[in-house]
Amino acid sequence: MYNSSYNSLKQVSSSDVANGKNSAATTSASKSPPVSIRTNATPNPFCFNTILHKLNAKVPARLVLYLLSWSGFLVSFMMRTDMHLAIVAMTLPGNGNSSGSIGGRCADGSLPNSTAALVTSVNTSTTTTTTTITPLNISVIPAAEALVSAAAEQGHRQYYDWSAAVQSLITGSFFCCYVLSQVFGGIATQLFGTKKVFGWSQFVTALCSLLMPACADIHYGLLIALRSIQGCASGLTWPAMYAVVGYWIPLIERSRFMSSFQGFSIGTGLTFVLGGFITKRFGWQYVFYTTGSLGMLWCVFWYLLAFNTPREHPRITKDELEYIEINISSEMKESLGKKVPWKDIITSKPAWAIAITTFGRIWIHYVFIINGPSFMKNILCFDYEANGVLSGMPHICSYILSVVFCYIADKLLDRRCMTLTNIRKLFTALSQIVPGVLLLFIGYIDDIVLLLVVWFIAVSFITASYAGAMANIVDIAPNFAGPVLAFCQTIHMSASFLSPLNSGMILQNNATIEQWRTVFIVAAIVGNSTYIAYQVYGTAEIQKWDSIDTATGGSVGGGVGDGPSTANGDLLTCETGKRNSRNNGDDGEDDDDDDDMESKEDNQMLKKTTNGKSKDNVANN
């Protein structure tokens, strides 16, 4: 199937030469001795374009986009997490990095059967030991401390006399700018497209990572500036990738594609596990050099292989292009450069439902990410190396389960088992209610093995959201998925610093298991209560304001009334991959219009044809 386009290209080129259609070759032949021309000559197998054509003939462009998205989020989260790990090795011992375990003694109130002998003590230059968690000070990564001490023995360390407040500014500056740049990311994506916005955001973030070691030698203020720039750049990534989903991914594949965003789980886990190893062997500087270099390498592949829409792709096969255009939503149009209906987005109940429920999920998630290592060390009394593995492995394993969740969601839709709205609500409930309920039990389980099993299950189920509310953003606004995500991210990512702030207020010096139970109970209440908003107002219907004509002030060409109403049971059929219309008479006209569009190669004519189709549908409805 995928070889047909490339083979036809070779046949046309060969026949043109044989028939003398190449004027330059014909003229040259008349003035020089005859030469033999091989009409069956194949392109140079070592030519880069030839290699890409062969790969695209065998590998669908959608799969390439999936791999780019997965690896992009993996690298992005490695570059944003590297500082949390490296700052432990960068600062003088005792300057806010002590985690409350001194002389092999667990914190007061640890679990009864936890073994104090498992704890590895950390030599400090002070006698004061506390477990105070500074708000926004996300640098407390106990998994790194033993590796850091080993690196010190090998002469790899370079200390900086930074207070806990300075460390908090360095790590926290990223998240403040990250939240503030979300709306700008949605606007930039509408103006310039996903390829430019996502690519440049990764390039800037990687460049900042490479500059971290040199700037640390000059002044910590430069690190704060670099982390702020990284936060602004990273804030563009999510709106950019959401915007491209509506153009490339058919509805029955959308949930599975959303699992590519879970590359960030792999990136977070790898940073925990590999970052300490790099620090031990080579020094903390090489943590930044590694993540920055990976980011630069990824940008090269993104520049060569990523495109905003299927029609912009120069090497996509005809079969795949037809499949995408037939199966994407009939309301999906070219929205690049169009005016964003911000007022409608901000006042949309479904958008608010997504933002509120995801706020609760982020709150729970950051309890595991930020407070988890401290809980495992101070309460479970794991040594540092085991802590590193146990802190990172749940995030790596959660990616595998996210693929399973997304696959099940697509199969439920493909087999018409549930409406799309109910599918989104089901997996959103799994991502919040299950971890929330398990958090209530974690603080009361005395058996460490059972506790770790429950911990792994809770972290893994959080990823069900990518078959639920997170995928729902593209459902309700395929044309403006980027701006809608930017609005939702601005709200729900505030939990990324409110959650650790709450934990810091609850956990006191030598935090006891009772205080940890309070942290878990608060997280469970927030996660479960915020889901109510999504259960009441969540929907998979395309919103009326998502129409391009509505956004630009023209006539309305599709909305809740005449679009696919999955909440009322209209589903995608397995045979054709098209969503049913309320007016059965539109199917024939839609097929004819699709055939007409496929016969036009000029993009301008395609846009005119699409606009004409929208007006016809309005008249018919």
**What CATH number is given to the structural domain containing 465?**
1.20.1250.20
Instruction: Specify the residue for token string 């190396």.
Output: 385
Name the range with the highest mean pLDDT among 155-164, 253-262, 296-305, 476-485.
296-305
Residue-wise pLDDT for 204-222, tens only, equals 999 999 999 999 889 989 9
d(Cα 6, Cα 618) in Å, to the nearest integer? 39
379 with 489, same domain: the answer is yes
367 or 531, greater pLDDT: 531
- The parent domain of residue 597 ranges over 580-621
Cβ atoms 517, 225 nearer than 8 A: no
**Is there a single domain that holds both residue 498 and residue 612?**
no
Residue 258 lies in a domain: yes
Select the more confidently predicted residue: 556 or 68.
68
In angstroms, the CA 79 to CA 233 distance is: 11
What are the structure tokens assigned to 120, written together?
A: 């590895």
**The token pair that represents 138 in the structure block:** 């996300």
Q: What is the pLDDT of residue 233?
A: 93
Closest CA to 88 of 150, 153, 167, 154: 167
Distances (CA, A) of 333 to 322, 374, 563: 16, 49, 13
Q: Helix or strand or coil: residue 572?
A: strand
3-state secondary structure of 383: coil
Q: Are residues 68 and 46 in the same domain?
A: no
Higher pLDDT, 134 or 549: 549
What is residue 165's predicted lDDT score, i.e. its pLDDT?
72
Instruction: Give the lowest-confidence range in 23-37, 61-75, 475-489.
Output: 23-37
In a domain, 28, yes or no: yes
What are the C-alpha distances in Å from 221 to residues 128, 160, 224, 226, 289?
28, 13, 5, 9, 20
What is the C-alpha to C-alpha distance for residues 370 and 373, in angstroms, rounded to an integer?
A: 7
Q: Residues 216, 225: contact at Cβ < 8 Å?
A: no
Same domain, 16 and 80: no
- Residue 568 predicted with pLDDT over 90: no
- Specify the range with the lowest mean pLDDT, choosing from 76-80, 218-222, 267-271, 332-336: 332-336
Same domain for 41 and 67? no
User: Cα(560)–Cα(563) distance, rounded to whole angstroms?
Assistant: 5
Domain count across the chain: 3
Confidence (pLDDT) at 355:
94
Can you tell me the distance from the alpha carbon of 316 to that of 321, in angstroms, rounded to the nearest whole number?
7
CA distance 23 to 10: 18
Q: How far apart are CA 606 and CA 601, in angstroms?
A: 7
Q: Which residues contact 603 (CB under 8 A, 6 or more apart)?
A: 311
Q: Is residue 559 part of a domain?
A: no
Identify the residue whose tokens are 């700018």. 177
Helix and strand numbers (H, E) in the chain are: 27, 0
pLDDT recorded at residue 118: 39
Residue 317 and residue 222 share a domain: yes
Is residue 604 in some structural domain? yes
| pLDDT tops 50 at residue 16 | no
Give residue-wise pLDDT tens across range 397-449.
888 888 889 889 988 988 888 999 999 999 999 999 999 999 999 989 888 88
At residue 564, the pLDDT reads 35
Domain contains 66: yes
User: pLDDT by residue (tens digit) across 284-299?
Assistant: 889 999 999 999 999 9
**Section 519-529 average pLDDT:** 94
**Is 138 part of any domain?**
no
What number is the average pLDDT over the span 79-91? 80
Of 537, 568, 598, the last residue of a domain is: 537
Same domain, 432 and 360: yes
Q: How confident is the model at residue 371, as a pLDDT?
A: 76
Pick 214 or 4 by higher pLDDT. 214
For residue 552, pLDDT beyond 50: no
Amino acid identity at 571: L
The last residue of one of the domains, among 57, 73, 93, is 57
Q: Are 156 and 278 in contact (CB under 8 A)?
A: no
More confident site: 522 or 595: 522
Say whether pLDDT at 24 is over 50.
no
Helix runs in 194-262, H state only: 194-218, 220-234, 237-248, 251-258
Please check whether residues 407 and 501 belong to one and the same domain. Answer: yes
Predicted local distance difference test score (pLDDT) of residue 424: 94
Handedness of CA 543, 546, 549, 551 (dihedral sign): positive
pLDDT at 47: 54
Q: Identify the domain boundary among 481, 507, 537.
A: 537
Residue % of the chain over a pLDDT of 70: 65
Q: Are residues 46 and 72 in the same domain?
A: no
- For the range 410-416, what are the long-range contacts, defined as Cβ-Cβ under 8 Å and sequence gap of 24 or more? 410/252, 410/253, 410/254, 410/255, 410/256, 413/251, 413/252, 413/255, 413/571, 413/572, 414/252, 414/572, 414/574, 415/574, 416/571, 416/573, 416/574
Q: What is the pLDDT of residue 276?
A: 72
Taking the CB of residue 112, how many other CB atoms lie within 10 A of it?
6
Q: Is the pLDDT of residue 486 over 80?
A: yes
**328 & 402 share domain:** yes
| pLDDT tens profile 297-347 | 999 999 999 999 898 898 888 899 888 888 875 555 555 556 788 899 999
User: Tens digit of pLDDT for each residue in 139-168?
Assistant: 334 444 444 444 444 444 567 888 767 777
**Does residue 545 form part of some domain?**
no
pLDDT of residue 378: 73
Instruction: Check if the beta carbon of residue 329 is closer than 8 Å to that of residue 542.
Output: yes
27 and 84 together in one domain:
no
Asked whether residue 169 carries a pLDDT value surpassing 70, the answer given is yes
DSSP-assigned letters across all residues of 101-138: -BTTBPPTT--TT--GGGPPP---S-S-------TT-T
Domain assignment of residue 114, yes or no: no
Determine the pLDDT at residue 549: 58
Indicate the average pLDDT of the chain: 72
Q: Read off the pTM.
A: 0.62
| pLDDT of 600 | 42
More confident site: 40 or 266:
266
Strand partners, 91: 160
Q: Are residues 84 and 32 in the same domain?
A: no
